[in-house]
Amino acid sequence: MKKRSKILTAGMVFTAVLLMSATAFAAGGEEALSVAKAYAAAITIGLAAAAGAIGMALAITKAVEGIARQPEAEDKIRTTLMLGLVFIETAIIYALVIAILIVFVL
C-alpha cells in the first residue's frame, strides 16, 4: 500500500512539473509566470488538503478503535484526538497561506 502511494505522489508531482513547463513554453513572458504560479498554488493546497484528509481519517479511525477497546479511556482519547486534528488542520491552513503568498507575492 505504501509503495502505491509513493508512486502516485511521484506521478502527480511529475505531471505537475510537466504541465507547468509545457505552459511556460507555450505562453510567454508574464503570462507563463502567472500560469505557473496558479499551478504551483493549486498543487500546494491540493496536496496539503489530500494529505490532511488522509491523516485525519487515520487518526479518527484509530481513536474509534481505541475507544471501542477501552471505553473508560474515552475522554482522554477524545481530547488527544481533537488536539491532533487541530494540528493537522493547522498544517493545511499554513499550506493555504503559502499558496496565497505564491499567487500574490512571488
Closest to 64 in 3D by CA, of 43, 89, 81, 40? 81
| Sign of the CA dihedral with 47 first, then 82, 60, and 1 last | positive
What percent of the chain clears pLDDT 70, i.e. is strictly above it?
Answer: 72
Q: Residue 63 pLDDT more than 90? A: yes
Cα 28 to Cα 15, 19, 34, 104: the distances in Å are: 20, 14, 10, 19
Which CATH class, in words, describes the domain spanning 2-104?
mainly alpha
Amino acid at 26: A
Q: Residue 48 pLDDT more than 70? A: yes
Q: What is the pTM of this model?
A: 0.68
Reported confidence tier of residue 47, pLDDT bands at 50, 70, 90: confident
Q: What is the pLDDT of residue 2?
A: 61
Largest CA distance in the chain: 64
Per-residue pLDDT of 8-42, as tens digits, reads: 566 666 666 666 666 666 656 677 677 778 888 88
Per DSSP, helices labelled H in the chain are: 2-26, 30-69, 74-104
Q: What is the pLDDT of residue 41?
A: 83
Cα 21 to Cα 25, 29, 37, 100, 101: the distances in Å are: 6, 13, 12, 21, 21
In whole angstroms, what is the distance from residue 46 CA to residue 21 CA? 19
Per-residue pLDDT of 87-98, as tens digits, reads: 999 988 998 888
Amino acid at 7: I
